[in-house]
Structure 1
Amino acid sequence: MESDKNIEKLLEKYFEATTTVVEEETLRAYFNQEGVASHLEQYQPMFTYFSKAKEEQFTKVTSLSEPVKPRRRFNYRWVSVAAAVVLAFGVYFGNDYREQREAQKVYLQTKEALNLLAVNFNKGTEKVALLNEFEVAKQKVLSND
């Protein structure tokens, strides 16, 4: 029980990054054994992983005699040219689209105004037709006299 309290204190120090190498070895040794306290079992996989990772070694054979292929430099000039072309197309077609929308708006407003004018003109034409009928009737009355 006393060692569990000591291990808990060492864990607190470990997570605060204030432990020494000897204290970390004590923690690894404790968590690599079988009799770990039940409330501390959650930390056991972490310390067993650290022990196994410490034993891993790089096994790939590398040869320094092989010539190193020069890496192809990514030419940023071409990327900037492509970006400028895309931007120019966007501005041109965006401006064209905006002008087309404005022209369509003006066309619709003009069409509405002409329709209003046509409706009022038709009303005036009806009145003129009535005047024509009145003039014809007046001529008939005057000619009968």
Structure 2
Amino acid sequence: MVLNNIEDLLEKYENGETTLKEEQQLKHYFSQETVAPHLEMYKPMFAYFLVNQQEQFTKDIPLKTRRKFNYKWVSVAAVAVLMLGFYLNQTGPIDTCQEDVMGTFCEPEEAFNEVSKSLAMISSHFNKGTQAISYLDEMDAGTSTIGYLNEIENTTSIIFKN
């Protein structure tokens, strides 16, 4: 009769319908030495629940809360700094032919000459780089020789097959 009661309690436990008192009865039954053989699989689970019930948390819990940084104010400050920078930077209309503005030229010929000098300098540096890898041409010649050897091998294989 006790076994039928335990089986009914197990069924209720699996459906999540047991009370705390009924779960305590199940824990007590499965903590005994003798358990029905067909219910042996439940014994480790309820043994774990008994051991786990006795565990206690021993670490200290900090009661001070850390202040969280409010990122909204950072974005407001960034917008304010940008707006102030734009406002202070606008001193009046900009003349395109000012000599003190860096990178601008009033005369097209002067701009053309500067661009020509810059491109000549870049070209000279690229030429130095190509001289450093000129040995690759010799390597290409070697690989073409290997290609001729492959052709000879193909012809000899044709001759010896017939």
Q: Which has the higher helix share?
A: 1
More contact order relative to length (CA 8 Å, sep ≥ 6): 1
What TM-score does the superposition give when structure 2 sets the normalisation length? 0.39
Q: Which has the larger radius of gyration?
A: 1
